[in-house]
């Protein structure tokens, strides 16, 4: 018996090792195959998303979808009503807000400016995100497009802070030669295509003259497409009391939050209560602050005034969960999805 074991043991060992090797090779190939399939599905979803946007761009406007006021300079008594979900409905069910329309995973690095491109939107939407912050800029011809700023200069050929494009030029030049730039008009088309999505604006400008020009252009796009009612799924970020007064003289935007990064505040409970009382008085639905400014004591004050506090920008899942568990309503993030904070 001992002789038999010694005779066949090496063969059994070789057979066992060979089986393990074959199994490992099969698992490797299977995982590689799965990765390839996932990449193919991702590319297919992105191509379908691009096709949907192109189809929407080519459709004729339908002015019957919302009656414009008698004059573009006339402020209506109330906003054109939306259909379906409102921004408040969607925000009530979210804990994640995609910063700058969401990062493109393959090129994102911590601290990089958000691209505000179609592909970022499509990736985050697929991950379950339904609220997107959009950075907005004015073009040379007075139109509004999605871009954080006009620098750095290597994003789009011939476009930089010293060479601001027209809207047509901006849309004709893919970001890094690959990614699809968006205009505010495109953003409205996406809201039509995705009725469960809400947008938060980051319009950057605080000078009253620029505020009037920028929001007049946004309203003109909505009127042209016959979709003023879509502003019921757009939340306007306010930077000051002056901006609020300007907007009151432009259009009765139904949803607004007060973001404090432009003005700042001294981060005391008394200062936060003062801002919260102001928001409650003026019908502003929430406050946005830097993550480093958050104090769990703010949560009870916000509840007292019927407000939600949004915190930006958080890309660490554990940090995001801590903020949410301590009372923040939602976090702005480049890369996290709902599954990362549950």
Residues 104 and 48 in one domain: no
Asked if the structure places residue 303 within a domain, the reply is yes
Asked if the structure places residue 82 within a domain, the reply is no
Last residue of a domain, one of 35, 56, 77: 56
Question: What are the tens digits of pLDDT across the range 253-298?
Answer: 999 999 999 999 999 999 999 999 999 999 999 999 999 999 999 9
Which domain range does residue 3 map to? 1-56
Mark the ranges of the chain whose per-residue pLDDT is less than 50: 4, 65-70
* CA distance linking residue 342 with residue 326, whole number of Å: 14
Global pTM value? 0.88
What is the domain count for the chain? Answer: 2
* CA distance linking residue 146 with residue 187, whole number of Å: 9
Residues 263 and 327 in one domain: yes
* CA distance linking residue 330 with residue 309, whole number of Å: 7
Question: What are the tens digits of pLDDT across the range 46-61?
Answer: 888 888 888 888 885 6
Asked if the structure places residue 76 within a domain, the reply is no
Residues 122 and 44 in one domain: no
Residues 152 and 96 in one domain: yes
Asked if the structure places residue 206 within a domain, the reply is yes
Residues 123 and 188 in one domain: yes
Asked if the structure places residue 140 within a domain, the reply is yes
Residues 97 and 193 in one domain: yes
Asked if the structure places residue 73 within a domain, the reply is no
Asked if the structure places residue 79 within a domain, the reply is no
């Amino acid at each position: 018996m001992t002789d038999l074991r010694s005779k066949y043991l090496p063969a059994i060992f070789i057979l066992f090792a060979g089986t393990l090797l074959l199994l490992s090779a099969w698992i490797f190939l299977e995982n590689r195959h799965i990765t390839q399939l996932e990449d193919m599905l991702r590319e297919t979803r992105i191509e379908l998303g691009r096709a949907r946007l192109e189809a929407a761009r080519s459709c004729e406007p339908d002015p019957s979808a919302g009656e414009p006021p008698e004059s573009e300079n006339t402020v209506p008594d109330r906003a054109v009503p939306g259909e379906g979900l409102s921004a408040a409905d969607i925000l009530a069910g979210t804990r994640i807000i995609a910063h700058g329309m969401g990062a493109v995973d393959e090129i994102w690095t911590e601290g990089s400016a958000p691209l505000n491109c179609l592909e970022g939107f499509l990736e985050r939407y697929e991950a379950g995100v339904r609220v997107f912050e959009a950075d907005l800029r004015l073009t040379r011809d007075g139109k509004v497009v999605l871009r954080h700023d006009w620098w750095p200069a290597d994003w789009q050929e011939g476009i930089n802070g010293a060479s601001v494009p027209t809207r047509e030029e901006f849309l004709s030049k893919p970001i890094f030669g690959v990614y699809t730039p968006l205009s505010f008009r495109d953003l409205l088309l996406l809201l039509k295509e995705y009725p469960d999505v809400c947008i938060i604006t980051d319009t950057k400008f605080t000078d009253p003259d620029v505020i009037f020009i920028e929001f007049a252009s946004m309203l003109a796009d909505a009127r042209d497409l016959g979709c003023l009612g879509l502003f019921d799924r757009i939340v306007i970020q306010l930077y000051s009391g002056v901006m609020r007064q300007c907007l009151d003289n432009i259009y009765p935007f139904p949803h607004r939050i007060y973001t404090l990064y432009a003005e700042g505040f001294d981060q005391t409970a008394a200062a936060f209560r003062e801002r919260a009382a102001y928001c409650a008085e003026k019908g502003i639905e929430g406050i946005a602050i830097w993550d480093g400014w958050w104090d769990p004591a703010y949560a009870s004050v916000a509840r007292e005034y019927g407000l939600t506090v949004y915190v930006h920008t958080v890309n660490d899942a554990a940090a995001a969960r801590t903020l949410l568990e301590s009372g923040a309503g939602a976090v702005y993030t480049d890369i996290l999805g709902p599954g990362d904070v549950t």
